[in-house]
């Protein structure tokens, strides 16, 4: 373990591009077996990580984020969302379909009108955390 991991870690450290902040680059190859063992035991399973990646991929669209933002504030029908976003109803319907298939939003029918809302409170928390992080001054 030490030999293969040590070579790879050394290769990565030795061939990394020069960063403006040199302290971010390893200057020695040290394998911390206790840390590796603990982390390996706590890593998230691959199936969950793939699902998370798909969710982030769906959210990697400013229009979809705007829709999530609007639905965080109120339950809305496609017509209202289209007017709010200044987009056509078919375009908004496409985005709503993608969000719905990814289980980020849900809908309910009231007569002939379909209302959309966030699937659960986790979506709002995820949006707010991402917004807070984006707004942090660096």
Helix or strand (DSSP H, E) at 118: strand 113-118
Q: Is 29 left (phi over 0), alpha (psi -120 to 50) or beta?
A: beta
Q: What ranges do the domains of the chain cover? A: 2-42, 48-135
Over residues 115-124, the mean pLDDT reads 96
pTM for the whole structure: 0.75
- 6-59 tens-digit pLDDT: 434 443 444 445 545 567 777 778 888 999 999 999 999 999 999 999 999 999
Q: Does domain 48-135 have CATH number 1.10.10.10?
A: yes
């Amino acid at each position: 373990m030490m030999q293969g991991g040590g070579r790879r870690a050394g290769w990565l450290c030795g061939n990394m591009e020069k960063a403006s902040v040199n302290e971010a680059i390893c200057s020695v190859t040290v394998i911390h077996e206790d840390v590796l063992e603990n982390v390996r035991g706590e890593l998230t399973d691959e199936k969950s990580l793939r699902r998370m990646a798909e969710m982030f991929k769906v959210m990697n669209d400013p229009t979809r984020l705007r829709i999530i933002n609007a639905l965080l504030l109120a339950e809305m029908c496609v017509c209202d969302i289209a007017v709010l976003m200044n987009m056509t109803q078919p375009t908004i319907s496409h985005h709503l379909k993608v969000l719905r298939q990814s289980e980020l939003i849900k809908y309910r029918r009231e007569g002939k009108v379909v209302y959309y809302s966030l699937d659960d409170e986790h979506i709002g928390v995820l949006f707010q955390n991402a917004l807070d992080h984006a707004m942090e001054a660096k």
